[in-house]
Amino acid sequence: MDEPTVGLDPKQIREIRNLIKSMKGERTIILSTHILPEVAMTCDRVIVINEGKIIAQDEVKNLTDSNSKSTRIYLEVEAPRQEVLDEINRIKGIEEIREETKVDEGVHSYIITTDGKKDVRRDIVAKIVKNNWGLLEFKRQQLSLEDVFLKLVTKEEL
């Protein structure tokens, strides 16, 4: 199937995805697409081809897990912006904290990138509690198939 959902409305896209999934175990379907969220939602295995050569093949989860040396965390906190940046940067294992958006007055969101060697989530939460900041959202972000593809074909570090 080449780009089976291009040009379809959301209802039709869902129907095509369900049709493809319903054939699991009965047929092998080769899906050719550059819409990587489509691949992640419908395929069990992925083959990435670049310049005519297979550069990766595995299950989606295995590709995303094995191609990430770091962990990304989304944090939304009610706290002074600079204090958050300073305190989180002091935690061992933090590679970068980047402000995403100002959500509301005094509320900011951040993407925290770690070196992946140690789980720093407890350390981050401890800083938030110690400083009496309002924790509004805290979640680990999964590497997307699109991130993996870009890393594989451009040699970017993630």
Per-residue pLDDT, averaged over 95-108, amounts to 88
Domain range summary for the chain, segments of one domain joined by +: 10-66+146-154, 72-141
pLDDT for position 12: 94
List of long-range contacts for 111-114, beta carbons under 8 Å, 24+ apart: 111/72, 111/73, 111/74, 111/75, 111/141, 112/72, 112/73, 112/74, 112/75, 112/88, 113/70, 113/71, 113/72, 114/70, 114/71, 114/72, 114/73
pLDDT of 116: 78
Which one of 39-48, 65-74, 141-150 scores highest in mean pLDDT? 39-48
Q: Choose which CATH entry (3.30.70.100, 3.30.750.24, 3.40.50.1220, 3.40.50.10470) describes domain 72-141.
A: 3.30.70.100
Q: Say what the pLDDT of residue 157 is.
A: 53
Residue-level pLDDT at 101: 80
pLDDT of 155 reads 63
| Residue 121 pLDDT exceeds 90 | yes
The model carries a pTM of 0.60
The pLDDT value recorded for residue 131 is 96
What per-residue confidence (pLDDT) applies to 38?
83
Residue scoring higher pLDDT (75 or 59)? 75
- Mean pLDDT to the nearest integer, 84-88: 95
Mean pLDDT across the chain: 87
